[in-house]
């Protein structure tokens, strides 16, 4: 019953948002918010060099497939067999709501190289922004050419039109309210390793053009150790059209109040508030050690789906439990899961980074 109520409310909100977007923006183009009704979620199953992520991916696949369709891309027959075994090994069914596609790819971070879905003129379309493996931040030997083609392959599978955008950017650095606003970190988009000689004025014009938004909010700053150069999905997230959750350092975290990172998050909160949005601060209540590295317990990298939310866990029962309780207040009527995923967090991200949500489109716009 809880799930049915959530799906009904989500569908109703989707319709309201689409009509309001048309009326207020005078635009027939928008990016649906993540909490709107979804058709499916997509992932790229990890290959040999990301093998340590498999148990986490199996848990994600199990949860997602209980609530909605899941599409899994795999690069080789061996990866396919390993993926099915990993899902079976945790007692889940690799055939339940799971669609398997042999599509060559380079990594397990489909949020960033996968499609951006756009509702445009009563049609759902895919945008394929250029992808160069995060400006080469993880080394020149990290491949990305196959990843750059994945949105084309998704378009082929779905028989959906694909538009190419000749700008390097990742979906993990885009937060939409489904109406008129996008929030992003300029430190990522303006990175010269991604886009040389690209300025904010041109970027604002391009973002409004491609996404149909009227309001572009730039935050700025690179948290310590963040090789993505500050993806927004680790800093600030919409939880509804007028409310944004923004990270906050505490005396219990590695990033202390008034530190460089604290100022990045505090400045982001101030910029978003000044743009007219409500801001809730998400406290970092601790840190953990993993493989000789220390990490703040940052739960912002959550995924919102049809009736559920999955957030990264840090193996700390106290902070995991507190985070679950907070996220339940952000997303009432959704089931909240915390999955320990330190192996992928050590490589740069969590559940949101690994997933790519496909909006549902079953209503008429305008």
Greater pLDDT, 296 or 24: 296
C-alpha 296/C-alpha 318 separation (Å) is 13
Q: What was the pLDDT predicted at 12?
A: 47
Pairwise CA distance, residues 129 & 114, whole Å: 9
The packing angle between helices 77-89 and 54-67, to 10°, is 70
C-alpha closest to that of 171 among 48, 355, 350, 47: 355
Element of type H or E holding 127: strand 123-130
Query: Which residue pairs from 316-324 have beta carbons closer than 8 angstroms and sit at least 24 positions apart in sequence?
Result: 316/286, 316/288, 318/285, 318/286, 319/285, 319/286, 322/285, 323/285, 323/297, 323/299
Domain positions in the chain are 2-358
Q: Which CATH number fits domain 2-358: 3.40.50.720, 3.75.10.10, 1.10.10.60, 3.40.50.2300?
A: 3.75.10.10
Confidence of residue 361 (pLDDT cuts 50, 70, 90): confident
**pLDDT band at residue 122 under the 50/70/90 scheme:** confident
Looking at residue 56, its pLDDT comes to: 97
Q: What was the pLDDT predicted at 124?
A: 96
User: pLDDT averaged over the chain?
Assistant: 93
pLDDT at 36: 97
- What pLDDT digit, counting tens, does each position of 36-55 carry? 999 999 999 999 899 999 99
- pLDDT tier at 364, thresholds 50, 70, 90: very low
Residue 362 pLDDT > 70: no
The pLDDT assigned to 25 comes to 42
pLDDT tens, position by position, 225-257: 999 999 999 999 999 999 999 999 999 999 999
Question: What is the band of 119 on the pLDDT scale with cuts at 50, 70, 90?
Answer: very high
- pLDDT tens string 180-239: 999 999 999 999 999 999 999 999 999 999 999 999 999 999 999 999 999 999 999 999
Tokens for 321? Answer: 């439990």
Distance from C-alpha of 246 to C-alpha of 277, rounded to nearest angstrom: 11
pTM confidence score: 0.91
pLDDT score recorded for residue 3: 52
Integer angstrom CA distances of residue 174 from 92, 169, 207, 278, 311:
32, 9, 10, 18, 18
302 contacts: CB under 8 Å, gap ≥ 6: 237, 309, 310, 311, 312, 327, 350, 351, 352
Segment 278-291 mean pLDDT? 97
* Residue 360 pLDDT class (50, 70, 90 cuts): very high
- Distance between CA atoms of residues 252 and 129, nearest Å: 39
Q: pLDDT tens, 3-27? A: 544 544 544 444 444 444 434 444 4
HEC string for 294-319: EEECCCCCCEEECCEEEEEECCCHHH
The mean pLDDT of 117-141, rounded to a whole number, is 95
């Amino acid at each position: 019953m809880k799930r049915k109520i959530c799906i009904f409310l989500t569908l109703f909100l989707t319709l309201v948002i689409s009509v309001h977007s048309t009326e207020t923006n005078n635009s027939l183009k928008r990016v649906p918010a993540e909490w709107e009704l979804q058709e499916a979620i997509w992932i790229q199953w990890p290959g040999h060099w990301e093998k340590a992520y498999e148990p986490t991916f199996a848990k994600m696949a199990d949860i997602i497939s209980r609530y909605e369709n899941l599409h899994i891309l795999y690069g080789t027959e061996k990866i396919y067999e390993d993926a099915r075994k990993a899902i079976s090994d945790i007692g889940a069914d690799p055939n339940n709501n799971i669609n398997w596609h042999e599509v060559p790819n380079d990594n397990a971070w489909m949020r960033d190289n996968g499609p951006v879905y756009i509702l445009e003129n009563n049609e759902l379309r895919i945008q394929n922004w250029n992808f160069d493996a995060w400006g080469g931040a993880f080394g020149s030997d990290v491949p990305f050419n196959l990843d750059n083609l994945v949105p084309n392959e998704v378009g082929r599978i779905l028989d959906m039109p694909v538009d190419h955008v000749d700008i390097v950017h990742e979906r993990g650095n885009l937060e939409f309210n489904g109406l008129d606003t996008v929030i992003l970190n300029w430190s990522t988009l303006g990175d010269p390793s991604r886009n040389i000689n690209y300025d904010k004025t041109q970027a604002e014009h391009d973002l409004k053009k491609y996404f149909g938004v009227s309001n572009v909010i730039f935050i700025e700053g690179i948290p310590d150790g963040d090789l993505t150069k500050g993806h927004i999905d680790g800093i600030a997230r919409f939880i509804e059209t007028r409310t944004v959750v923004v990270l906050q350092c505490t005396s219990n975290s590695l990033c202390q109040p008034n530190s460089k990172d604290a100022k990045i998050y505090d400045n982001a909160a101030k910029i978003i508030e000044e743009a007219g949005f409500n801001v809730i601060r998400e406290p970092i209540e601790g840190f953990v050690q993993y493989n000789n590295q220390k990490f703040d317990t940052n739960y912002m990298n959550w995924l919102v789906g049809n009736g559920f939310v999955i957030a990264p866990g840090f193996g700390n029962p106290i902070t995991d439990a507190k985070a679950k309780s907070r996220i339940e207040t952000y997303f009432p009527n959704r089931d909240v899961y915390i999955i320990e995923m330190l192996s992928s967090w050590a490589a740069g991200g969590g559940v949101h980074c690994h997933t790519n949500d496909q909006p549902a489109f079953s209503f008429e716009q305008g």
